[in-house]
Amino acid sequence: MTDTGTPAESRPAPVTLRMIAEQVGVSVSTVSRVLNAGDAEALRWASAQTVARIREYAAARAYRPNPHAASLRTSRSSLIGVLVPRLQDFVLATVYEGIDEAATENGFSTFVTNSLDDPASRAVRTEMMLQRRVEGMIFGDARDDDALLADLAARGVPFVLVSRRSADHASVTCDDLLGGTLVGRRLLEAGRRDLAVLAGLPFASTAIERTRGAVRAFADAGLRVPKERIAWGPFDAAGGREAAEKLLATEPYPDAIFATNDFAAIGAMGVLRDRGLRVPDDISLIGYNDTPLAAELPIPLTTVHSPMHEMGRHGVNLLIDVLGGADPESVRLDPTLIVRESG
């Protein structure tokens, strides 16, 4: 039988939302919203002239929406599933506030649950959300090597990540490598030469990249941070206390401690106090995230400000792009070093 169709290699590549956006000069999210909206609703997102240009270009190039996203839209639940390690965690609670705020503005509701960073719990709770026909998911508990996310991507489930990165999945995070670098440079400028790190969870990109940034800054100055100066553990105050006790079990003590989470820094501050070590005279101490408590401590904590609320809002916008058939690029938000008395 003779195939009279056009050879696959000569067919034009299918048009994408990003191609339309670049041609018209608008964002991918604007294109997605216009093409998925009725005439009146489309004018919420763009002018009548821009709406016409988007639709004319899409029609001329025979744009076809992502079938999975389209099927979700026809049975709209208007529900976004959100999975976080712990909502009692100030950082993730703040990120979630941004998610819920942006979701409401875009006509969605959110359904959030805790995974406790347990792989089995994550899998069960993810399936529970999918059974409730969420339109897409936002994960705040991604792992560095994440089989669950790989499986969801293979199944065509729409999702994005916030707070933590994993592989090449679309994500919105703070530029944690830069944040760690800012910490390392600050300590070097203060004359510190022996760094210890309360690194956090070894499978979290936040912990990995913040630690890497600080260690690299010291390496660039010709100073090595030995492995025994890096303690991994939970991000909370109890985890910070335990890690600091290990680091200070023997002398000589480091002259600087970087905790990749403010609450871990607070736990470390308690250990330093108990040992009669002065902050920052004996040991400088720097945290990360700039939680409200950081500025109110007896010794105000130098820390890195992470745009947590903004991260959540960007995560919703990224997911809307995915639901519209786009393949959006990940977003890295800028950190800011907040210098106070501790380091």
How does residue 75 score in pLDDT terms, banded at 50, 70 and 90? Answer: low
Q: Lowest-confidence range among 47-56, 143-152, 181-190, 270-279?
A: 47-56
Read off the tokens for 202. 């070894």
CATH architecture of the domain with residue range 176-305: 3-Layer(aba) Sandwich (3.40)
- Start-end ranges of CATH 3.40.50.2300 in the chain? 77-172+308-333, 176-305
* C-alpha pair distances (Å), 245 with each of 63, 106, 125, 195: 60, 47, 35, 15
Fold of 77-172+308-333: Rossmann fold (3.40.50)
Tokens 């609670």 found at:
93
Residue, of 7 and 193, whose pLDDT is higher: 193
Closest alpha carbon to 158 in 34, 328, 341, 17: 328
* Those residues with Cβ within 8 angstroms of residue 110's Cβ, 6 or more apart along the chain or in another chain: 79, 80, 81, 82, 96, 99, 100, 103
Chain segment 16-58, per-residue pLDDT in tens:
888 898 889 988 778 888 887 777 778 877 888 998 999 998 8
Read off the tokens for 12. 């034009």
Helix-helix angle 205-220:176-189, to 10 degrees? 40
- CATH 1.10.260 matches 11-64: yes
Distance, in Å, from the CA atom of 168 to the CA atom of 142, rounded to the nearest integer, reads 12
Distance, in Å, from the CA atom of 156 to the CA atom of 50, rounded to the nearest integer, reads 31
Chain segment 206-223, per-residue pLDDT in tens:
999 999 999 999 999 999
* C-alpha pair distances (Å), 25 with each of 18, 20, 22, 30, 44: 10, 8, 5, 10, 17
- Start-end ranges of CATH 1.10.260 in the chain? 11-64
pLDDT of residue 4: 41
Residue, of 9 and 79, whose pLDDT is higher: 79
For the entire predicted model, the pTM comes to 0.79
